[in-house]
Amino acid sequence: MILSLLIFLPVLFAALVMIWPQKSTVRHLALGLALVEFALSLVLLQKFDTGTAALQMVEKTAWIERFGISYFLGVDGISLMLVVLTTFLIPVIVLASWNSIDNRVRGFHAALFVLQTAMLGSFLALDAILFYVFWELSLVPMYFMVGIWGGARRIYATVKFFIYTMAGSVLMLLAIIYMMRLTPEVTGGTMSASLLDFYKLHIPFVGGDFFTAQTLLFFAFALAFAIKVPMFPLHTWLPDAHVEAPTPGSVVLAGVMLKMGTYCFIRWVIPMFPEATEHYGWIFVAAGVIGIIYGALVAMVQPDVKKLVAYSSVSHMGYIVVGLFAMNTYGLNGALYQMLNHGISTGALFILIGMIYERTHSRDIAKYGGLAGVLPIYTIAFIIVTMSSIAVPLTNGFVGEFLILLGSYYYSPAVAVFAVSGVILGAAYMLWMVKRVFFGPKGELVLAGEKDAEHPLHDLSAREIAVLVPLVVLIFWMGIFPNHFMQYSKVSVDHLIANKSNYSFPVSGSQHAQVEEK
């Protein structure tokens, strides 16, 4: 029952927040509830057996029996750390939004908790229809978070985000229905939406013939996930969404929602369509490399610091895609680790940008300068997170990018050469931005802050330091001791690589017979 508790407790929390009588303590309540959810995920982490690739903590109950649809949950090493990342970031987001969200506070925290339910359900659902429900549910609270609490162009950004993701999801739903109609051949005559049964299907594939069943299904799923990542050239909704979203929306979008796309490539696309993945994987590797370079070059010319980080996110997600479709142990382990790293470092960057925006109400890089002399603690925190973002050794970003580049080299040395250029470009635009914002002559915003006796620029408060400390600790912990984190996913990744042409999902312990029977 622990997985069901993890998924649905936030819905209960959302209801509790909405009926809480004291508006002044809603934030305190939301923070406490978010910490309860995080503690529950740590219990899951403690119970997890790192020595097996099997599905653990399985829950399965018939739902719509006529179509073989069930309430089917389970966790393995690939989904586990993304679950913990989600529950870790939510209390950080609540604390970070303490001052920035000052209207409809109950509604904001309720939307955040519903979004948490949708994201956790997407990581833990192993029935295709159940997964699709959670996948689509995630759009609704995000739509309201950007549309209500966003910037001046929030409606445009929200509609664009919704249309892009819905378009891909419709194709995926059609593919799911088609695959459900194929399952009677592996289940003895009954229809099924179970992912375990989807893995058993042997769907025809002919290399070079685009209109074979496996190829069409492969692209139907892959397009939906590529939009969510988002991969080049389907990325255009992301910078608009980031710029117009409130800081908490940007953090949850970069920290977790984008990972839903890359996670689903591992869980759904690669094991279900091995021949199509092998044959067409080069397209995704190429798109990933283009995304790395394109995102970096566009980030380099951005005048808005938040838009710069948004395009850097496109570049970093390109690395993850390259690692996934390199289809070797180094690339896949690196991609999964980089999902966690990106959630920590890019989430921290958006939080830091939100903190300075609360003080100056501007994100224009040209208006800053000399900030280091006024906000020294803030400057130190920003530079540490920047070092993580550009993959400096001993930070978490270095481990993930190194493994991805190693995996891409085994896939193709030429791919590695192009991909590594993103490291150089990333250092260029991030360090150039740091130089312009924090050093040199004081800009107009800093000078105005010095002259304003009533509202002077002030360094980080105790609350803001409390927000950043766990993120900074993780940056160094994950960079110096990566095995503390990779031990949970290594066996599952190795199992996927070893059995990628005929993947099956073992189920741990006595639950195996129960799941297979149902």
Cβ neighbour number for residue 288 with a 10 Å cutoff? 30
**DSSP three-state, residue 304:** strand
For the entire predicted model, the pTM comes to 0.93
At residue 510, the pLDDT reads 43
Residue 422 makes CB contacts below 8 A (sequence gap 6+) with 292, 293, 295, 296, 315, 318, 319
Q: How many domains in the chain?
A: 1
Q: Which domain holds residue 442?
A: 288-499
* Angstrom distance (rounded) from CA 84 to CA 317: 20
Is 447 part of any domain? Answer: yes
The answer to whether 89 touches 35, Cβ cutoff 8 Å, is: no
Is 328 part of any domain? Answer: yes
* Angstrom distance (rounded) from CA 218 to CA 18: 42
The stretches in the chain having pLDDT less than 70 are: 452-455, 509-518
Is 14 part of any domain? Answer: no
Is 110 part of any domain? Answer: no
Is 368 part of any domain? Answer: yes
DSSP state, residue 254: I
What are the counts of helices (DSSP H) followed by strands (DSSP E) for the chain?
A: 25, 2
* Angstrom distance (rounded) from CA 504 to CA 500: 9
Is 388 part of any domain? Answer: yes
At residue 449, the pLDDT reads 72
* Angstrom distance (rounded) from CA 285 to CA 36: 40
Burial class of 24 by CB neighbour count within 10 A (0 to 12, 13 to 18, 19+): exposed
The answer to whether 372 touches 439, Cβ cutoff 8 Å, is: yes
For residue 72, the Cα-to-chain-centroid distance in whole angstroms is 22
Is 142 part of any domain? Answer: no
Token pair for 407: 């995996």
Closest CA to 505 of 275, 153, 314, 266: 266
- Measured CA to CA in angstroms, residue 169 lies from 165, 175, 194, 403 at distances of 6, 10, 18, 31
The answer to whether 333 touches 489, Cβ cutoff 8 Å, is: yes
* Angstrom distance (rounded) from CA 415 to CA 226: 20
Is 424 part of any domain? Answer: yes
